[in-house]
Structure 1
Amino acid sequence: MGPEVLELEQQLAGFTGARHCISCANGTDALQMALRAREIGPGDAVIVPAFTFVAAAETVSLVGATPVFADVREEDFNLDPESIRPALAAARAAGLRPAGIIAVDLFGQPADYGRLEAIAEEEGLFLIADAAQSFGSALDGKRAGRFGHVTATSFFPSKPLGCYGDGGALFTDDDELAAILRSLRQHGQGEDRYDHQRVGINGRLDSIQAAVLLAKLETFGEEIVARQEVADEYGRALSAVAAVPVLRTGASSVWAQYTIRVLERDRVAAALKADGIPTAIHYPRPLHHQPAYAGSPIAATGLARSERLAGEVLSLPMHAYLDLATQDHIVASLHRAVGGTGLGRAASGYR
């Protein structure tokens, strides 16, 4: 909580346009703090996409609430608004009180917040925008950090804006919510360090990480542009042989991952590895198939898209400094692995 932390919070708030930025130790703490600030706990249900990193469901469980899994859309990997009400029905059938939604902006593009915010308003739900992978993106002229009741993000080193260890932040325009989040971050502190108004956590951001982020923020805008150029080249070069990600109208992405879809994924990944090209699978098993969440309710309409995506996604090298020669090598290798085998867009069922 040194002076670098306050400066970072001010700069991040200015970057996003949010009234408040509350830094914290990591993205998982950010999600947990958001849930605790609204006193979500035992007996409550929070809707979470089934196809995402475990932190979204984990934090719901850590506050004593129950994650209820909804499906995602194939075209952008994000929470499907059409799956929310079937998930709410499953929550109520299980005797739970629907309390919130965590919408994860998977791989860099914001979720459909226009529809999600409308559903949250109609149903009286607390909407958390998880921008751990989308910080720096925008939707309809608003940057990530301005969606939902509160936005949580991560500055883990692999993120588009990453520090040299763990770090995170929350963004909100709600003055009261911001004050509670600041208290929770420092052991529930009130008027002074020995006044504890609520049960909090040690969620402070390290000043060294804040200093790193301040330096990296200076070039972040340029890197967002460069990442888009890399994504554009991938899209042009790979659309004939794989299902490539699609941006919704009005949305931009920071391309935390460039994730395609292919059948026989393991064989394709092995062929790229033989050519010296690393790949990754985000994520090989949907959350409702994880042992820790096997008993959690799922949307009444099922989670077929989450299950299909988990078997097809493959993330390619992506960063702002990926040179064209290296990208050409990746593209050529993928064409050799996939071309003529029926593993591309039509075969995957992508639309």
Structure 2
Amino acid sequence: MEFRDLKSQYQRYKTEIDTAIQNVLDVGSFVGGSEVKELETKLSEYVGVKHCITCANGTEAMTLLMMAWDIKEGDAVFVPDFTFFSTGEIVSFRGATPVFVDVDRDTYNMDPVKLKQAILKTLKEGVLIPKVIIPVDLFGLPANYLEIMNIAEEFKLKVLEDGAQGFGGSIEGEKACSFGHAATTSFFPAKPLGCYGDGGSIFTNDDRLAKLIRSLKVHGQGEDKYDNVRIGVNSRLDTIQAAVLLIKLKAFENHEVKDVNQVAEMYNNRLQGVEKQIIPKGYTSSYAQYTIKLKNINQRDSLQNLLKESGIPSMIYYAKPMHKQKAFSELNFVNEDFKVTNELCDTVLSLPMHPYMSSNDIDDVCRIVNEYVCKF
């Protein structure tokens, strides 16, 4: 059984994908080919924003926004404590300070109440200047942008939607990566929409910001590639990856988001005795992961071992919170401020999840989980 079955997806679309790659090889335009521009147009249309700027990966997408917004030493950027390392890493990379925020017990996403408390605390301390909030659409579920945007407006902060896991999700029909002042996503192979290598993109309705990022991602380019008007980076999506994504985007739109939600519904109906991530009314998840909570770390780890013995892969996202990462050890945090994150790190377990999962495979997973949990 595959955790995220990219092989079945490829076999279904093998002819189209192989043809798209061969077309790039035949033309020989491996960087900046026509497929890149076409992909940016189609992605912006899908999300419903004016601009999509592709780049090398999701981490650099966020870094480019930090550069464009001139985030620097002395600035505070608010990041959920329960997320992948890169969300905080890109803040420190710019010399700014990540301020970690505990998450909601039901959705696992940034808790707006605790966010406001963290902003007020930072202002009271007077050492850092609050600048940006980076909510994460964890496991495919968009964060609570209604409340977060209200808080951002109150304190005059920018909001960067980290949609690396959330692409394809929505709130009341509004697509993930359309929230905040700008958004980013990742095309890492295991993401909801993944390529066959690394890739990422930035979404925004801000014309000036889009123009600046297009310059920053190519060495601060001006009118041509030998006219450099600012210090930038080299961060481009290559043409072969764009070609692959054009094929996979069609599948994503046509059936994959619908199918993965049907898999989630089967899981929800068949699993017993475990907590699941709550999808609020009006929200749709793209289910980058399907995650359950066990009672404690021993029960979680024992279940993972049992699944492994049965040939069923599972993953722990995430075993260590951001505030306990060694790379952030010089920052001052109070462990008690992250009660929910600490609990989740000891109890979450992600099960196999993808649009091509069979009912029989779901039955096999649920049977083992249910039999194990009923013993406790």
Query: Which bin holds the TM-score, normalised by the shorter protein?
Result: over 0.9
Query: Retained in 2: the 8 A contact 1:70–1:299?
Result: no
Structure 1 residue 143: Cα displacement:
0.3
Q: 1:215 to 1:50 in 2, by over 3 A?
A: same
Matched, 1:131 2:129: no
Give 1 or 2: higher helix fraction. Answer: 2
Structure 1 residue 86: Cα displacement:
2.0
In the TM superposition, what are the counterparts of 1:178-327 in structure 2 within 5 Å?
178-221=210-253, 222-238=255-271, 240-263=272-295, 264-298=299-333, 302-327=337-362
| Equivalent position SS for 1:305 | helix
Q: Write the distance in 1 (CA, Å) between the matches of 2:113 and 2:214.
A: 34
Matched, 1:72 2:126: no
Unaligned runs of 5+ in 1: 342-351
Q: Write the distance in 1 (CA, Å) between the matches of 2:38 and 2:184.
A: 19
Q: 1:25 aligns with which of 33, 56, 75?
A: 56
Structure 1 residue 301: Cα displacement:
7.4
Matched, 1:333 2:368: yes
Q: Write the distance in 2 (CA, Å) between the matches of 1:261 and 1:300.
A: 21
Q: Write the distance in 2 (CA, Å) between the matches of 1:195 and 1:121.
A: 37
Report the TM-score when normalising by structure 1.
0.95
Task: Name the stretch that deviates more: 314-323 or 80-89.
Answer: 80-89
| Equivalent position SS for 1:40 | coil
Aligned counterpart, 1:348: none
Deviation per CA, 1:121-157: give whole Å up to 9, x if none.
1111110000000101111221012100000000000
Q: Write the distance in 1 (CA, Å) between the matches of 2:307 and 2:237.
A: 38
Structure 1 residue 91: Cα displacement:
2.9
C-alpha RMSD of matched pairs (Å): 1.3
| Equivalent position SS for 1:103 | coil
Task: Name the stretch that deviates more: 138-147 or 107-116.
Answer: 138-147
Q: Write the distance in 2 (CA, Å) between the matches of 1:118 and 1:298.
A: 26
Task: Name the stretch that deviates more: 241-250 or 85-94.
Answer: 85-94
Equivalences, count: 340
Aligned counterpart, 2:129: 97
Structure 1 residue 294: Cα displacement:
2.0
Q: 1:232 to 1:311 in 2, by over 3 A?
A: same
Query: Retained in 2: the 8 A contact 1:83–1:301?
Result: no
| One-letter amino acid of the structure 1 residue matched with residue 84 of structure 2 | F
Q: 1:128 to 1:298 in 2, by over 3 A?
A: farther
Q: Write the distance in 1 (CA, Å) between the matches of 2:165 and 2:290.
A: 11
Deviation per CA, 1:188-229: give whole Å up to 9, x if none.
111111222221110111111000000101110200000000
Structure 1 residue 171: Cα displacement:
0.3
Task: Name the stretch that deviates more: 273-282 or 298-307.
Answer: 298-307
Runs of 4+ in 1 over 4 A off after TM superposition: 297-301
| Equivalent position SS for 1:89 | helix
Q: Write the distance in 1 (CA, Å) between the matches of 2:332 and 2:144.
A: 23
Structure 1 residue 297: Cα displacement:
4.4
Query: Retained in 2: the 8 A contact 1:87–1:298?
Result: no
Q: Write the distance in 2 (CA, Å) between the matches of 1:154 and 1:298.
A: 29
| One-letter amino acid of the structure 1 residue matched with residue 45 of structure 2 | G
Q: 1:60 aligns with which of 91, 101, 104?
A: 91
What is the percent sequence identity of the aligned residues? 45
Q: 1:230 to 1:246 in 2, by over 3 A?
A: same
Q: Write the distance in 2 (CA, Å) between the matches of 1:336 and 1:262.
A: 13
In the TM superposition, what are the counterparts of 1:156-167 in structure 2 within 5 Å?
156-167=188-199
Deviation per CA, 1:249-278: give whole Å up to 9, x if none.
111000000000002210111111111111
Aligned counterpart, 2:150: 118
Query: Retained in 2: the 8 A contact 1:257–1:318?
Result: yes
Q: Write the distance in 1 (CA, Å) between the matches of 2:187 and 2:259.
A: 19
Q: 1:175 to 1:300 in 2, by over 3 A?
A: farther
Q: Write the distance in 1 (CA, Å) between the matches of 2:262 and 2:205.
A: 32
Structure 1 residue 300: Cα displacement:
10
Query: Retained in 2: the 8 A contact 1:282–1:313?
Result: yes
